[in-house]
Structure 1
């Protein structure tokens, strides 16, 4: 009887039911789109951060910035070598990024802290190579030199031509601990050609090149790369997942320490927490027990992200969420008012039912049942609209820019041209990421819950009105 009456009343009042369902659908669809875009923002930001600290890394430890930094400008020395203008000279200068290092014994000390699952050290270097030629100038004697009556003394003239033609090439090198391949910036890249390091190549002269740098320098597996006079064999090409690598070249840590005159030193310690929910407490433990260090989590680094990604993320998390909440509340209120108004127009109907023996509770359940069905219909429509909106965002995939760096303090990884190599003023780094709007099962569950809640709220309005009707008063009412 309940379902028969319910089906008949919904069919008879389908226009009013469609209005209520449409209002709820708009609110639910907006919630789905906003949640999906916010999730996409989070994934985009994670993608940006992974290019700096690598997958599986929860925080990094670096040396605390010193106000009395001993950093010096790189110096290059060249000799004048006779009249041979075809001779090319070159000089490499390998510098530790940030000019601040920690003893590699700190890696084991950090790894022994409570809550730390694993820790690995890395050394970030910047190589500046200057190469070119000197050309010696030619002495030209004045036209009157040697003529009769000309003044006696040293020959008069001038030097013409000469000069120098030098090229400056700068690139980044990262020394990675090959015995622990699960941590560090290289984990955010995929080997697309050749292979990665083996655990036995702790001091081997091998290198993994970033795909963009390899393309620029026309490098392939099997080629050799010379760094400060040392030849390294290219064993693999790595393509970063985020589109931007932490370094141009990756070599074993011991080789990097030798090239940078930093034996027994690291610039960054990558830390993985045993429990991802306890990252803040692990950070406090490391800061308390190991002095002179700066601990940076992914949340700390995320606060330095600026550009269109940051702006869009702020809009989605603040304006978008408040807008969706406002629209949803308005949809619930409108649905409740429309249901209550419909009850007012059905006074004689409910009065007759009560006169026939229906109790107030049964009338209330009938009104609530109709409202819940309207809510579920609105939920289905809202989910369909929300999925369509999220699919449209993903199909368009608007490109957002994320600018990182430009500040001081320790950071993750060591990007090309500055990056986040350690304490000290760092160069800004701009990345581009495509925005997607993934819809998770939890978002669909939220939409269903909102649909049922909307139906119950509107049903509560109408049911309360229906329960207060008396049969005698209802029958006296004329529609």
Structure 2
């Protein structure tokens, strides 16, 4: 009887039911779109942070570089010898320097790993290589043709003339190298890149002369798997090409950590310790423990890095989390109120009907349940429409994939434009840079569940208004009223 009467009444009042369902649908659709866009913003920010940190890294430990003492010159010096045999052969020399931070002892990695709440820790060494190559060209002496002679310094006579031509032509190549612990492939800067050609390092290649090259640098220098790259006097074989997920690589070249330490005369030293916590809820306590037990270090978490992200990504994220969600709440409240008022108004127009039902023996509770049932069905219909509209909106955002810019400022970890320019990340060329990230709007099962819950809640609220109104009707008063 309940469902029969319910079906008949909904069919008889299709327009009113559609109005109530449409109002709820708009509110639910807005909630789905805003939640999906907010989730996409979170993924975009995570992608930016992974480009600085590496996948799975919760924090980094570094030590700020000290200012040079008065009169101390840190600029690299290059020296070339003149060729005694008169040849014009090309000469080259490399300077490999630690970049960005003071070095930490490799034992620091073990100390960090021993801290309570740390799941894993691995060290990395950030280097800058300046390669100067070129050649001297001897000038040619040309006699002036006058036949006159000039007095030499020791009383002898020299033919008149001058040296013309000659000089020096040298090229400066500047690139970054990152020493990676090949025994810990799941943690560190290389995890933010995907191997698109060749392979990554093997755990046995701790001291091997092999390298993984960033795809952009490989294209610029025409490198491929099997090519060789010479740093100082060591030739490294390219075993893999890596493409950064964010489009901006951590370094131009990656080599095994021991090899990087050897190149820079930094035996058993690192510039960055990458840390993975046992639980994301313990990151703050782990940070405090490291700072307390390992003095002189700077610990930078992903939350610290997120504070340095600005640009359209940050602005859009703020709008989505504040304005968007408040707008969703306001629209939902308005939709619930409209649904409740419309349902209550419909009850007012059905006074004679409910009065007759009460006169036939229906109790107030049964009338209330009937009204609430109709409202819940309207809410579910609105939920289905809202989910469809929300999914369509989220799909449209993902299909368009608007590009957002993330501006990353320097100085996050006390460094001076070193690795990442962000306090702990791997090598970057500048202390401030801009990344472009495509926005998506993924819809999760949780969001769908929220939409269904809102639909039911909207129906119950609307039914509550109407049911309360219907339960107060008295049969005699109802039958005296004319519709």
Give deviations 1:243-287, integer Å, cap 9, x for gaps. 322111111111101111211110000111112221111111111
Segments of structure 1 that go 5 or more residues without pairing to the other structure are 148-152
Q: Which deviates more from structure 2 when the two are superposed, residues 384-393 or residues 126-135?
A: 126-135
Give deviations 1:124-158, integer Å, cap 9, x for gaps. 111121222334556778798949xxxxx999987
Give deviations 1:341-378, integer Å, cap 9, x for gaps. 11111111111111211111111111111111111000
Distance 2:274 2:137 in 1: 49
Distance 1:324 1:137 in 2: 78
CA 1:291 to 1:71, structure 2 compared with 1: closer, same or farther past 3 Å? farther
2:258 alignment partner, SS class: helix
Shift of 1:43: 1.1
Alignment of 1:124 with 2:109, yes or no, is no
2:381 alignment partner, SS class: helix
2:310 alignment partner, SS class: coil
Distance 1:65 1:370 in 2: 70
CA contact (8 A) 1:410 1:422 kept: no
Report the counterpart of residue 267 of structure 1 in structure 2.
Answer: 271
Report the counterpart of residue 237 of structure 1 in structure 2.
Answer: 241
Q: Which deviates more from structure 2 when the two are superposed, residues 313-322 or residues 366-375?
A: 313-322
Distance 2:208 2:344 in 1: 79
Shift of 1:444: 0.2
Alignment match of 1:445 (pick from 442, 449, 453): 449
Alignment match of 1:461 (pick from 449, 460, 465): 465
Q: Which deviates more from structure 2 when the two are superposed, residues 269-278 or residues 81-90?
A: 81-90
CA contact (8 A) 2:178 2:427 kept: no
CA contact (8 A) 1:207 1:249 kept: yes
Distance 1:449 1:159 in 2: 91
Give deviations 1:305-338, integer Å, cap 9, x for gaps. 1222222211111111111111111111111111
Alignment of 1:200 with 2:204, yes or no, is yes
Shift of 1:340: 1.2
CA 1:304 to 1:156, structure 2 compared with 1: closer, same or farther past 3 Å? farther
Report the counterpart of residue 150 of structure 1 in structure 2.
Answer: none
Alignment of 1:37 with 2:37, yes or no, is yes
Shift of 1:470: 1.5
Written as runs of structure 1 = structure 2, the 5 A alignment for 1:76-155 is 76-81=78-83, 86-136=88-138, 146=148
Distance 2:480 2:371 in 1: 21
CA 1:414 to 1:420, structure 2 compared with 1: closer, same or farther past 3 Å? farther
Report the counterpart of residue 372 of structure 1 in structure 2.
Answer: 376
Distance 1:207 1:369 in 2: 68
CA contact (8 A) 2:246 2:437 kept: yes
Report the counterpart of residue 227 of structure 1 in structure 2.
Answer: 231
CA 1:182 to 1:209, structure 2 compared with 1: closer, same or farther past 3 Å? same
Segments of structure 2 that go 5 or more residues without pairing to the other structure are 150-156
Shift of 1:418: 9.4
CA contact (8 A) 2:224 2:238 kept: yes
Distance 2:427 2:252 in 1: 20
CA contact (8 A) 1:98 1:425 kept: no
Distance 1:158 1:470 in 2: 124
Report the counterpart of residue 282 of structure 2 in structure 1.
Answer: 278
Shift of 1:166: 2.5
**TM-score if structure 2 supplies the norm length?**
0.90
Give deviations 1:194-238, integer Å, cap 9, x for gaps. 222222221111111122222221212222110122111112222
Distance 2:466 2:422 in 1: 65
CA 1:365 to 1:95, structure 2 compared with 1: closer, same or farther past 3 Å? same
Distance 2:422 2:99 in 1: 7
Alignment match of 1:322 (pick from 317, 322, 326): 326
Alignment match of 2:392 (pick from 371, 388, 392): 388
1:38 alignment partner, SS class: helix
Report the counterpart of residue 173 of structure 1 in structure 2.
Answer: 177
Alignment of 1:72 with 2:74, yes or no, is yes
Shift of 1:74: 2.6
Q: Which deviates more from structure 2 when the two are superposed, residues 126-135 or residues 358-367?
A: 126-135
Give deviations 1:22-71, integer Å, cap 9, x for gaps. 11101100110111111111111111221222122111111145456778
CA contact (8 A) 1:408 1:424 kept: no
CA contact (8 A) 1:175 1:250 kept: yes
Give deviations 1:109-136, integer Å, cap 9, x for gaps. 0000111111111101111212223345
